Structure 1
Amino acid sequence: MLRDWSDVYLIGIAEIDQQHQGFFAAAHRLYEEILDREGKNAVVEAMAFMRDYAEQHFQTEEAFMREHDYPGLKEHMQLHVAFFRRLDGLEDDLMIFGPSQDLADRALDITQDWLIDHIADEDMLYSLHVKAREPRGNAA
């Protein structure tokens, strides 16, 4: 199910929260481009945008975690690598089979649903770590 952004996904770190909103929008765009099926090029462009956005976002997250000595950095980075592996599989299937409802559903699972779970579980952990270390609890 395509879900809209909600403030319940905020982790309280302004730059990361803004990127999460952009990542969410990119997931919507990818899903809609696949469903539109007007041509593989639009889907390929949306997929490339998603990959670029994820790379930039993950670099920001990882730098933030390094800056704040987050003890779970290595494990968190492994989750990012696993995301790209799933995205690779989606791209391979796009090239082999073309756009389809099944591909759109998988794209939604790989992008939006993964992101929501990742924010709620993993990103919230490093947010809490940073807030606990801040003198006034302000990590933004």
Structure 2
Amino acid sequence: MEKEITAVMALIEWNQSLKVDIQQFDDQHQQLVAMVNRLHQALKDGQAVDLLDEILAGLLEYTQVHFAGEEALMEQYGYPDYQRHKQTHVDLVRQVEDIYAQFKNGKQLQPISVMQFLVNWLTNHIKGEDKKYTSFFKGKGIE
């Protein structure tokens, strides 16, 4: 009897549409994609609730390190949209901190809602906001 092999499909595949062509930021964005895919797989396996703490803590750490790096380069090189871009980061961190605080205070969070939040943020922020700085940084010689 042959075994049926099923491929595990990632919710979000890393591809050119997500790349900002600044290596350090692309590497960090891939970490977020991996977190979303991990939560998606845990949902499919019925283990998402168990991973929420780890995923949310990882997302907070991710945002602190990643946003600090983006903002430092923006400030260093005089990125013209720095203040507005920074505010989008502040807003996201507040949202994640709020979700995490609710979770830590015993609120039942729906893993699917957290995953949808991450997917929406990923597509809207990276594709909409982060892609705007690519040509600016490339013009400064940052790869």
Coarse TM-score class (shorter-chain normalised): 0.7 to 0.9
Q: Which position in structure 2 is the counterpart of 1:105?
A: 112
Preserved CA contact (<8 Å) 2:79 2:136: yes
Residue 51 and residue 37 in structure 1: after superposition, are their counterparts in 2 closer, same or farther (change >3 A)?
farther
Residue 21 and residue 111 in structure 1: after superposition, are their counterparts in 2 closer, same or farther (change >3 A)?
same
Q: Which position in structure 2 is the counterpart of 1:50?
A: 59
Gaps of 5+ in 1: none
Q: Which of these residues, 19, 23, 26, is aligned with residue 32 of structure 2?
A: 23
Tell me if 1:117 matches 2:124: yes
Between Structure 1 and Structure 2, which shows a larger proportion of helix residues? 1
Counterpart residue identity of residue 51, structure 2: A
Q: Which position in structure 1 is the counterpart of 2:5?
A: none
Q: Which position in structure 2 is the counterpart of 1:86?
A: 95
- Secondary structure in 1 aligned to 2:21? coil
Residue 79 and residue 124 in structure 1: after superposition, are their counterparts in 2 closer, same or farther (change >3 A)?
same
Offset at residue 18 of structure 1 (A): 0.9
Preserved CA contact (<8 Å) 2:43 2:112: no
Preserved CA contact (<8 Å) 1:5 1:24: yes
1:61-92 deviation per Cα after TM superposition (whole angstroms, max 9, x unaligned): 11121222101111111101111122123224
Which is greater in Rg?
2
Q: Which position in structure 2 is the counterpart of 1:139?
A: 142
Tell me if 1:69 matches 2:105: no
CA distance, structure 1, for counterparts of residue 102 and residue 44 of structure 2: 15
Offset at residue 58 of structure 1 (A): 0.7
- Secondary structure in 1 aligned to 2:123? helix
Counterpart residue identity of residue 9, structure 1: L
TM-score with structure 2 setting the length: 0.77
Preserved CA contact (<8 Å) 1:23 1:54: no
Residue 93 and residue 4 in structure 1: after superposition, are their counterparts in 2 closer, same or farther (change >3 A)?
farther
Q: How many residues align?
A: 133
- Secondary structure in 1 aligned to 2:80? coil
CA distance, structure 1, for counterparts of residue 69 and residue 46 of structure 2: 33
Offset at residue 8 of structure 1 (A): 1.6
Residue 23 and residue 5 in structure 1: after superposition, are their counterparts in 2 closer, same or farther (change >3 A)?
same
State the identity as a percent: 26
Preserved CA contact (<8 Å) 1:35 1:104: no
